[in-house]
Copies of this chain bind each other. A is one copy, B any other.
Amino acid sequence: MASTDSEISVTDVAKAAKSAFEASQLLSADVRKLALEKIAARLESSKAAILAANGEDMEAAQVEVDAGRLSNALLKRLDLSRGDKWDAMVKGVWDVANLPDPTGIVTYATELDDDLELYRVTCPIGVLLIIFEARPEVVVNIAALAIKSGNAAILKGGKESTRTTLLLSRVISEGLAQTTLPSTYIQSVQTRAEVSALLALDQYIDLVIPRGGNSLVRNIQNSTRIPVMGHADGLCHVYLDESADPEKAVRIVLDSKVDYPSACNAAETLIVHMSLLHTVWPKVAKALLDADVRLLCDSHTLATLHTSQFPQEKLESHVSVASESSYDIEHLDLKLSVIALPSLHSAIQFINAHSSHHTDSIVTESQEAATTFCRGVDSAGTFINASTRFADGFRYGFGTEVGISTGRIHARGPVGLEGLVIYKYMMRSKADKGHVVGEFGVGKGKRSYKHAPIKTTTVPF
């Protein structure tokens, strides 16, 4: 009986979200901006209560950590009072409020005939179902992005942050209630069973955004007809080309690996051109070993290390032989898989076979090699002499980020507000008799299409 009850209630949640979305379409973008300002203010005035709830979540999680059932890393991600997290969260809402409105922008306009105008106009997608893991501030980030872009959203956070996210969701609803937007514009659910039930409701939910690991994304893709915008693994490569500058090689490999090893845009595999085995590779290896990076090497790169001047104990503690599967692992740690390959083309093929199509970088002084790499590597980001860590919505200039998509539909790479909109076509006839298709065609008295571009970025009606 419980499951039926929950099914009924999530159907109500989904219906309410759809209705809220539809109602919001007739409101102006100013209302959405106002809602974000109200939410930011309310977060500030509810800070003590939210941090108290977060403290309770932390205490409960500490018990799990002590019992070895939860990682310390997750505990840290849960903590909303850590560093400048709280301030960054609230500032994020203000920042999103002040970003340009991504909706209502005309991206194609043409006159089909005298007095018959067509406009392609950006608009929200509809109802988003967003599933994320531990970090409670994501509720606020994502709600802000959804509201700004005019989408209704249903949120499901990690179970460890239940008390915090419940309170954050309430504050968001209270902020919405101070505007003409429906308070059901942003809703949240608590259980996996509710998520499962929601994934079946493709008549109400238009897009699922899972923010988590590969397995979360694939599980969801397997169990819904609703489109999924997944941020899956980041298995990024750096390729040191024949003509790589040694200093650039050292700097870029090091930054790509050690700047933030658990990020999805960190490098996991280094490809070294065979010709660099005794020149650039030992320099890069030294920098990596000095930075405490463990190396999983193929026979070529390994042999060089053993003939170089590295301390034996360092080699023993930090260098091991790569297996075939080493090149398919997202280490997310101070570990790097290394392989030597004989050519740029073999490097491109290797990357296309092993990369998660997130971001891959070449270090080269050859313009031709750079061009070939950028075109041949089939990833969301292909970089020349730059760290893979640059793959990020803020760094790209989007102000904020929904996630990083490794899919190839709708949005690819770091996804900003633009990733949360689609478009619709609006057509207007101003002719005395309106416009009908039957008047167009081949033959006497038939009209033909004019297709004269209209220069505008806004809909004139």
Contact = CB atoms under 8 A, between A and B. Distances in A.
A264 interface: no
A311 interface: no
B425 A381 contact: yes
A397 B427 CA distance: 13
A278 to B, nearest CB: 22
Interface string A225-255: 1011100000000000000010110011011
A259 to B, nearest CB: 5
Given A252-B436, A425-B413, A22 B408 contact: no
Interface stretch (A268-276, A335-343, A366-374): A366-374
Given A378-B126, A434-B363, A436-B259, A427 B390 contact: yes
Given A370-B461, A435-B386, A461-B374, A391 B126 contact: no
A438 to B, nearest CB: 5
A125 interface: yes
A381 B410 CA distance: 19
Interface in A394-428: 394-397, 407-410, 412-414, 422-428
A146 to B, nearest CB: 14
A304 interface: no
B225 A227 contact: no
B438 A255 contact: yes
Contacts of A438: 255, 259, 387
A228 B414 CA distance: 22
Nearest to A245: B434
A25 interface: yes
A390 B435 CA distance: 9
A26 B376 contact: yes
A200 B191 CA distance: 29
Task: Specify how many copies of this chain sit in the oligomer.
Answer: 2
A141 interface: no
Given A382-B426, A427-B383, A437 B26 contact: no
Contacts of A425: 380-382, 391, 396, 412-414
A385 interface: yes
A25 B378 contact: yes
B433 A247 contact: yes
A184 interface: no
B412 A410 contact: no
A433 B26 CA distance: 52
B412 A423 contact: yes
A433 B251 contact: yes
A413 B225 CA distance: 19
A397 B229 CA distance: 30
A93 interface: no
A229 B245 CA distance: 44
Given A110-B396, A407-B227, A382 B412 contact: no
A14 interface: no
A384 interface: yes
A307 interface: no
A372 to B, nearest CB: 6
Task: Sort A-B residue pairs by CB-CB distance and give the 6 closest, nearest first.
Answer: A255-B436, A248-B434, A385-B434, A389-B437, A397-B451, A221-B225
Interface of A: 21-22, 25-26, 110, 112, 116, 118, 125-126, 206-207, 218, 221-222, 225, 227-229, 245, 247-248, 251-252, 254-255, 259, 349, 352, 363, 367, 370-372, 374-376, 378-387, 389-391, 394-397, 407-410, 412-414, 422-431, 433-438, 440, 449, 451, 459, 461
14 contacts: A110-B397, A207-B409, A227-B227, A251-B434, A252-B436, A259-B437, A374-B426, A381-B425, A382-B424, A382-B426, A384-B428, A386-B429, A390-B427, A412-B423
Given A110-B397, A397-B451, 5 more contacts: A254-B436, A381-B426, A385-B430, A385-B431, A395-B440
